[in-house]
């Protein structure tokens, strides 16, 4: 009876190549998201993520073409998961930091600016701290603060995170969105890698 050599038990090269081609874009993308969230934490508004979203979209197009000649398809399928990971991860991380080490501070509302979102009208405020320094405060859609009033906010002593109104810190919901976005993005990238490997094998066997 012929015994299989140990090397025969290793997964075929096609499996290893599929795993590798799926891991590469995921590692690159989630490294990019981590950098974006770290740089975006001091801001009270998520508009700073737009350049990161554009780069992620371009990266998905490139990875899609490399994996299965389906660049635009992968980018379109991955766009909403990218937004969920970035916004959910940014909000959940900021909330968790403020919950763990934030300090309540009474600040003076010094100026107001309005901007319209799909969810409604949102306001951004310039606030002055007791030491005279200034910060930007985003209280959330539909919340309006009188200019000249004093409000209690939670501030990170190291100023790593933008201040928030006291009592608004709840990382659970945004963390769920970030996790769903992560799972969806992993699923579409892995599916594209598998489809690309099957196409490669099919084309190789029909020549």
Structural domain spans, the chain: 12-99+170-205, 103-155
What average pLDDT does range 28-53 have in this prediction? 92
Record: fold of 103-155: OB fold (Dihydrolipoamide Acetyltransferase, E2P) (2.40.50)
What average pLDDT does range 39-53 have in this prediction? 89
Claim: this prediction has a pTM higher than 0.75: yes
Residue pLDDT, tens place only, 5-30: 555 555 555 788 888 999 999 999 99
SS (H, E, C) the chain: CCCCCHHHHCCCHHHHHHHHHHHHHHHHHHHHHHHHHHHHCCCCCHHHHHHHHHHHHHHHHHHHHHHHCCHHHHHHHHHHHHHHHHHHHHHHHHHHHHHHHCEEEEEEEEEEEEEEECCEEEEEEEEECCCCCEEEECCCCCCCCCCCCEEEEEECCCCCCCCEECCCCCCHHHHHHHHHHHHHHHHHHHHHHHHHHHHHHHHHHCC
Residue pLDDT, tens place only, 108-125: 999 988 877 666 677 889
User: Could you tell me the pLDDT band of residue 80, with boundaries at 50, 70 and 90?
Assistant: very high
């Amino acid at each position: 009876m012929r015994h299989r050599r140990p090397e025969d038990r290793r997964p075929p090269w096609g499996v290893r190549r599929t795993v590798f081609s799926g891991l590469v874009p995921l590692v690159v993308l989630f490294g990019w998201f981590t950098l974006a969230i770290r740089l975006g934490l001091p801001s009270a508004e998520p508009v700073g993520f737009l350049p990161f979203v554009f780069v992620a979209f371009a990266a998905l197009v490139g990875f899609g073409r490399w994996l299965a000649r389906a660049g635009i398809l992968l980018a379109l399928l991955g766009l909403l998961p990218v937004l969920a990971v970035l916004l959910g991860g940014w909000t959940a991380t900021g909330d968790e930091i403020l919950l763990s080490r934030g300090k309540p501070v009474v600040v003076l509302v010094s100026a107001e600016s309005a901007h319209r979102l799909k969810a409604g009208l949102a306001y951004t405020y310039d606030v002055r701290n007791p030491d005279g320094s200034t910060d930007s405060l985003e209280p959330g859609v539909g919340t309006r603060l009188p200019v000249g009033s004093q409000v209690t906010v939670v501030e990170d002593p190291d100023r790593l995170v933008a201040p928030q109104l006291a009592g608004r810190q709840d990382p659970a919901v945004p963390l769920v969105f970030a996790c769903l976005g992560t799972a969806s993005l992993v699923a579409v990238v892995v599916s594209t890698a598998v489809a690309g490997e099957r196409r490669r094998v099919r084309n190789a066997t029909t020549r």
